[in-house]
Amino acid sequence: MGAIVNRAKPYQALSAQSSYKSGLAMDRRLSFFPAMKLFLLTLSVACALVAATPANRTSLLPQVTISETPEGRIVLGYPAPEGKAPYIVGLLIRTDGSNGAAVGAGTIIANNWVLTAAHCLTTDSVDIHYGSNWGWNGAFSHNVRRDNFISHPDWPSQAGKDIGLIRTPHVDFNNLVNKIPLPSFSEENERFQDTWCVACGWGGMDNGDLADWLQCIDVQIISNSECESAYGSVSGNDMCTRQSDGRSVCGGDSGGPLVTHDNARLVGVITFASVGCHNGPSGYTRVTDYLGWIRDHTGISY
């Protein structure tokens, strides 16, 4: 889910690997891509993504080598029942001329729009996988080129602006593929402190592998001052959830949704976690701060 910034304590962005430790950038086979291995970023992609990544955050967009037929860590999460999160999509983030891709996620907010993190949109195209709980064997997928990407204009120069949109072909909704509402404009100043939410993704698990089955965790939003006690400083446009019993978002969850338990709506876009994904709050771009920006580009408002 700005320029390099010094922080008091380490946390990791859900982006590409730079010189700091990646939560999932290791030489191990991906359990849901049997023919794929993690590999190092090319310099051009690494530089593009590092621009958005503070020096002491680690990558959470693990890189994979794509086979011709891909087959099918939220850390300490639980397997999502089919249809629990029909609004989540898996992203394979591709660069032309390479057989590699990064792994991330996004959220359906309309029949032809997906909301994600801006750092997931720095390459040439994305494969969007819809209706998938098991690996990437979803109902269908679309390849979308970068001329359909809209990143916030202040990213990566300003912290807390890590949000982006993907214009997609029209998608019909059903029990496995559906949108999630945004907060209403009457909630534009709501901070949602102490609110319980669910975060889901196919990112790294506690054993370091990417998840075969969609994983979810239940988390509570905390104040930014509590988050700052762990990391030194946090943008007002970010929000954090408390790390509890080792549960956290992790590598591969970038761009995914944080959705309230009550009156379900999308309040956060997954962007960073503590190094190792076990030692501090998880971070999200605060959706309520971008309702006007989203409306201006998509016409969506509540």
* Contact yes or no for 203/246 (Cβ under 8 A): no
Catalytic residue among 59, 132, 141, 254: 254
For the chain, give me the number of helices (H) and strands (E)? Answer: 3, 18
Band the pLDDT of 171: cuts 50, 70, 90: very high
Q: Which of 103, 128, 141 is nearest to 24 (CA)?
A: 103
pLDDT at 71: 26
Active site residue 223: no
Would residue 115 count as lying in a domain?
Answer: yes
User: CB of 177 within 8 A of CB of 133?
Assistant: no
Residue 191 CA to residue 130 CA, distance in Å, equals: 30
Which residues are CB-neighbours of 239 under 8 A, at least 6 positions away? 191, 192, 221, 224, 227, 258, 267, 268, 283, 284, 285, 286
Give how many domains the chain has, as a whole number. 1
Assigned domain for 4 exists? no
80 in the Ramachandran plot: left (φ > 0), alpha (ψ -120 to 50) or beta? beta
Assigned domain for 204 exists: yes
pLDDT digits (tens, 9 = 90+) for 84-138: 999 999 998 887 777 777 889 999 999 999 999 999 999 999 999 999 887 677 8
190-214 pLDDT, tens digit per residue, is 999 999 999 998 865 555 556 678 8
- Kindly state whether residue 32 falls inside one of the protein's structural domains: yes
The answer as to whether 1 is a domain residue is: no
CB 159 within 8 A of CB 238: yes
Radius of gyration, alpha carbons of the chain: 17
Integer distance in angstroms from the first to the last C-alpha of the chain?
23
- Examine residue 129 and state whether it is found in any structural domain, yes or no: yes
Residue 5 lies in a domain: no
- pTM of the complete model: 0.79
Over residues 282-298, the mean pLDDT reads 97
Residue range of the domain that includes 265: 12-302
DSSP conformation letters of 210-256: BPSB-EEEEEEEE-HHHHHHHHS---TTEEEE--BTTBB--TT-TT-
Scan for tokens 């996620």, then name that residue.
105
| pLDDT > 70: percent of the chain | 71
- How far is Cα of residue 75 from the mean position of the Cα atoms in its chain? 14
**Spatial CA neighbour of 73 closest among 207, 195, 229, 266:** 207
Of 162, 212, 253, 289, the catalytic one is: 162
Q: Is the dihedral of CA 275, 276, 280, 286 positive or negative?
A: positive
Catalytic pick among 15, 22, 59, 119: 119
Q: What rounded mean pLDDT belongs to the chain?
A: 76
In a domain, 2, yes or no: no
Q: What is the CATH number of the domain that holds 63?
A: 2.40.10.10
Q: Are strands 196-201 and 164-167 parallel, antiparallel or unpaired?
A: unpaired
Q: What is the pLDDT of residue 24?
A: 23
Q: Is 119 a residue of the active site?
A: yes
Q: What is the DSSP string of 37-86?
A: EB-PPPHHHHHHHHTTS-TT----S-EEEPPSS-----BT-EEPPTTS-T
